[in-house]
Amino acid sequence: MRKFFRCIFTFILFAVFHFSATAQAVVDSTVAQKGKLTFSGYVDAFYFANLNNPKSQKNLGSSGFERAFDQRAGQFQVGLVQTKIGYSSSKVDAVMDLTFGNNADLGNYGNLIGPLGRGTTALAIKQAYITYKATEKLSFTMGQFGTHIGYEVIDAPLNYNYSLSNLFNNGPFYHVGLKANLAISDKFGLMAGVVNGVDNMYDNNKAKAVIAQAFISPAEGWNVYLNWIGSDESSTRQDSTGYFSLFDLTTTYQVTEKFFVGLNAAYGSQKGDYQGLTPYYSKALNWGGVALYSNVKFSDMAGLGIRAEVFDNTSGVRFLRNTLADTGTDVFSFTITPNFTLADGMIMLKPELRIDSFKKIAGAGNEGSQQFEDSKGNFTKNSQTTIGMAAVFKF
């Protein structure tokens, strides 16, 4: 009898363990089918002193576009607060990337007015898109997503330097539309899409912008991105007289485990009635620039990044110009940014020194028409040096 009960007990234990394992497998399979939910974000704060000691306490010059986000000097500020929710499964990806703060508003500068003519909660949307994975190699994305143009991004933890380049400041920040991605192989991919113009939530005419990208990886650790956007941005004429075109090259190379280099070059043109702004340019005018990046990792907690950039807008067609002299300009910028990582990678400290040197406006009577203001509020400086530090917490 004991033997019988021992057999029954053994059978019951086996059945329980088998059922548990089967149930866990079903649960794991169900979870895999449902996908994975992720939650991340960051907050950054900074302080920069301007050695010109400008009366207005601003790092901005005569055009108001000399710096993208770190616009004020001598003040502690919160840059951006991000909350990012992602969902990923075998067939669908979805991203809800919400940001708040001064930098969030500046990043959505083409979306300042809501449909009722007042402020808009859409300023909080940095990205909101859905990706359908048609096959392992082909996917379609629709919604608002960050631009493919350029080397740098809005997210402070992802850039080695804290302040942003002139190329970033004068290129698109985001797009609203539809794009297709084709990953032909690990070494080659293509993207093409249709979006609502350049940095606009709402298009200012019926024409749509076309975006494109080609990705190439010629060797291990070397990535090359060839990018383009073209759009009729005219708001008063409908005959493509306000056409905007931008070609962009971004490439990175991991030279060694500790040494990394990158390059961003852009060449743009525009003419006519660009987004309804004046003046009207009867022929295409060009602008562009090149930025070189390098960073070295000393340890898991410390590194150093350097950026050198030239940006040419002598045609005066982009926003970065000398408005006092009513002329275009060009600038050389040099930025050095050590990086320190604390608290198991959750806190990043970025002390930074940056020098911006603009073309000097020569000639009698132009002493007060330079790019930057002095301590008396007069625009007598054609260069500025800022020094400070940013703290970034990410999770």
pLDDT tens sequence across 54-78: 999 898 999 988 998 999 999 999 9
Percent of the chain with pLDDT over 70: 87
Angle at 277 between CA 274 and CA 278, to 5 degrees: 110
**Does 233 or 273 have the greater pLDDT score?**
233
* pLDDT at position 164: 96
- Cα 63 to the center of its chain, rounded Å: 22
CA torsion sign for 318, 293, 95, 209 is positive
Please tell me the predicted confidence (pLDDT) of residue 9: 40
Confidence (pLDDT) at 235: 73
Residue 50 clears pLDDT 90, i.e. is over it: yes
Select from 264, 318, 251, 311 the least CA-distant residue to 291. Answer: 264
The answer to whether residue 46 scores a pLDDT higher than 90 is: yes
Whole-angstrom CA distances from 125 to 31, 71, 175, 266 are 29, 22, 12, 27
Task: Average the pLDDT over 141-170 and give the result.
Answer: 96
CA nearest neighbour of 173 among 156, 153, 197: 153
> With 0-12 CB in 10 A as exposed, 13-18 as middle and 19+ as buried, what is 220?
exposed
Residue 389 pLDDT level (bands cut at 50, 70, 90): very high
Homologous superfamily of the 63-70+136-394 domain (CATH): Porin (2.40.160.10)
pLDDT number for residue 202: 79
pLDDT class for 234, splitting at 50, 70, 90? confident
When pLDDT is averaged across residues 197-220 and rounded to a whole number, the result is 89
Q: How far apart are CA 269 and CA 284, in angstroms?
A: 6
Spatial contact of 72 and 108, defined as CB atoms under 8 Å apart:
no
In which band, very low, low, confident or very high, does the pLDDT at 114 lie, cut at 50, 70 and 90? low
Q: How high is the pLDDT of residue 171?
A: 81
Does position 390 have pLDDT exceeding 60, yes or no?
yes
For the cut 70, the answer to whether the pLDDT of residue 162 exceeds it is yes
> How many C-beta atoms surround the C-beta of residue 18 within 10 A?
10
Domain limits of the chain? 63-70+136-394
Reduce the DSSP state of residue 85 to 3 states and report it: strand
pTM for the whole structure: 0.86
SS3 33: helix
pLDDT band for 227, please (50, 70, 90 cuts): very high
pLDDT above 90 covers a percentage of the chain that reads: 69
Instruction: Look up tokens 């929710």; give the residue.
Output: 85
| Average pLDDT estimate for 215-242 | 85
Bridge partners for 232 per DSSP: 243
Bin 309: left if φ > 0, else alpha if -120 < ψ < 50, else beta: beta
Mean pLDDT on 106-121: 73
- The 10 Å Cβ neighbour count of residue 139 is 19
